[in-house]
Homo-oligomer: A and B are copies of this chain.
Amino acid sequence: MPGEFDFIEWLCTQHRASDLVAVPQGDDLAVLNWPAGELLLVGVDQVLDGVHFDAKIHDAQSIGRKVMNRNLSDCAAVACLPAAAVVAAALPLGAGLDYAKELYLGMREAGEKCGCVIVGGDTGSWPGKLALSVTILGRSGGVGPITRKGARAGDGIYVTGPLGGSILGRHMTFEPRVQLARTLAQTGQITAMIDLSDGLSRDLGHICRQSGVGAVIDAEKVPIHADAKALSLRDGRDALNHALSDGEDYELLFTASDELSNAQGVVRVGTITQESGIWLTRGAERKRLEAVGWQHAM
């Protein structure tokens, strides 16, 4: 029966050259030459069978791409350049060497599109379901990281694409907005940013709470994805409701001090306010927008 060392041996043939890597994987830790003067951004994001994907439905490469893309989307959220990643994989007993390779190839493909190399990992088998986590290292690359804290009253609120209904499939196939985030951040006008993983209402709540502000969203401006409309026909829930509260859009939600145009690939959906609370307006009508997006129970 093949074991983890067969996998590690195969991995050692899969190296991609990188200026960053001083000692490639195969040792206890990978050794990187971190560029002087560059901030190091680091975070981790995992995908779990039955929560973020379904191993009975989704193939290994898609699962691998998703976990890497979630991390790349975190890089987009702070507008940094993805640089390197390490992976922890808990594989169901008997998943097999080929399955592990497919997971890796999916992760590598997604990473390479954004300049991110996989430099290490830990693989284990267990009598449990597939759990896959990626830790990503990003570098500032001349652009100060955008946090969630800088939104100010009067700032416009923007999203980078139509929202809602990603559960119909987009949650596995989205493209992280790494390049767009850099372009936006380079304008110097972005005051706060987050990627939409928990749903607009909840993620906007994170920005507002951390910035100490409130927000008004114009219901008629929120771009509704065709998937949200399709889902609405099925479940009878309003399509706007899906757009406001479904998770895993992986578009960017940000605030800007100056007006940006649609030509920049963004849509203005509202305005930051001094007054706290998040409100949804439609003409003269105004109601509180509840944060009903996704969170893990504990």
Contact = CB atoms under 8 A, between A and B. Distances in A.
Identical copies of this chain, number: 2
Contact of A86 (B4, B23, B93, B135): B135
Contacts of A34: 34, 38-40
Interface stretch (A72-80, A107-115, A212-220): A72-80
A138 interface: yes
Nearest to A25: B43
Interface in A55-79: 74-75, 77-78
B1 A297 contact: yes
Given A34-B38, A42-B120, A148-B27, A125 B298 contact: yes
A44 interface: yes
A284 interface: no
A48 B130 CA distance: 11
Contact of A74 (B29, B48, B74, B78): B29
A195 interface: yes
Contacts of A46: 88, 90, 122, 124, 133
A189 interface: no
A33 B100 CA distance: 34
A48 B90 CA distance: 8
A242 B126 CA distance: 23
B7 A298 contact: yes
A167 to B, nearest CB: 17
Contacts of A127: 50
A296 B3 contact: yes
A128 interface: yes
Contacts of A45: 88, 122
Interface in A1-18: 1-7
A77 B29 contact: yes
Given A22-B39, A33-B39, 9 more contacts: A3-B295, A7-B298, A27-B147, A40-B137, A42-B86, A44-B87, A48-B126, A52-B124, A126-B131
